[in-house]
Structure 1
Amino acid sequence: MDYSKLSDFEINAAVFENLHGGAPDYKEGDGGAMVLISYEGDVVGGDAVEVEVERGVFNPCNNPADAWPIIVDNLLRMTPVVHHGSVSWIACRGDYGVSHENPLRAAMIVFLMMQESDNVQDNPA
């Protein structure tokens, strides 16, 4: 899969689903965050309604607190590269490597590449 074409939101959702074997209901939040939601019944003006409740936010492409455990648990290496005054980051492990100006996004793409490879090995065609 070409992860470079995915938005931060799509990468965040894929990472969550790989970590947890699926995902609850969610929607896109600010900065590509994955906002976890649920629905609860309530009474508004005498009518029974379903109300959306935010349960949390997951944004490893942009939040170090969400990304760091994934980086550490998967032994991902992060290396800055300076070229003509601009900085990009290489995230890698083994045969997988991605360069991007956002180091957390690069790391999450490497994580997904690793998961994709593991799934292919576990489920040969």
Structure 2
Amino acid sequence: PVGCSVISPIARALNVLVKSPYCADTTVYPYLTKMPPDANSKVGIVKGMVRTFAWTRFFWLVQEDPFMLELAASVKASLVEYDDHDMGTWTVKSPSQVDGLIDELVQQRPRVIITAWFTTLGSNFNCALAK
């Protein structure tokens, strides 16, 4: 489980916005955080945030990369114990797919965006949008 020592700084970090056209509107995307590169920590943090912030549904975009796909599967498996939580995974095969996929998902007006290794869209790209 993720303790307060991890959740508290993450909760504070949720008030920080990345300079991205998808995160610029704070009325739609008021929260954003970056996650650590360690896979085990990342699974625990996502699970902890889902529980702490009472997310009932979220979407995770990952690059078509064995590590990222395994990570997404681990997160999804860790949420099985919660009947009211649902995670959808979208795999991005090329940078050209990213913009269209995000545009499609933002139509569902997610309230939280999580990014990991956020550099440029399509480059080590991993983004979760939670409702």
Higher relative contact order (CA 8 A, sep 6+): 2
Asked which structure has the greater CA Rg, the reply is: 1
